[in-house]
Structure 1
């Protein structure tokens, strides 16, 4: 089957029920997308599929033929994704960094859909788990990206 990953068509030789996460990591060598829980709960495996956040650990590749898949490796090729990464660095969001690719993907998707998200939009969307507890830093970066730097969410 053929998947388009980060703008490049890729031939995939994997059973259709293989989770996208393992195709990305094991077959394509794109290891920025992380395995967290395997249950679509934590968000470490988040990627964009046709611009929407999807948990790759539970998404079979057979569902994705013809879709545009964007991983953390290509997120900065999008101007919005580049802004998110810039603010993540500026606000020193990552601690261990394990969950951050999923966090950045979620933030990018939100800002592409709603360029100036409200506090409620941010709280509803930024639900990925962070074992290090960098939620205050994530909130600060998102507030800045939403154009409300200095506000407390």
Structure 2
């Protein structure tokens, strides 16, 4: 029950934060809609990962450890974190540079190497691997029963 309330709070928070994020990025981006769209990719992927965690909470609340719904949610969460980190690290700086110079030259791009991006990518990869291992262990346990 507490996890269900927690997952509803997280989903509501994701909607509120998503709206605030779009408003902030829209006011910070001076100029083109292309730059606005590029700046929204990484945060949208991170919010998707946060939304997917609510399914993990729901599976834990029901006592269904490593069932297909939980492992799928873990994979989606990990994928969102991994892709969001990639978008923040590589995609956003490269696309903003290309938009800024009219898609004429890709030289001079400064990639966003930060500890935060590397950590989020690593956590995303670990979640994907844990979900795969959980599916395999669940299959082995069902074979015994």
For Structure 1 versus Structure 2, the TM-score category normalised by the shorter chain is under 0.3
Higher helix share: 2
Q: Name the structure, 1 or 2, with higher relative contact order (CA <8 Å, separation 6+).
A: 2
TM-score normalised by length of structure 2: 0.28
Higher strand content, 1 or 2: 1
Q: Which has the larger radius of gyration?
A: 2
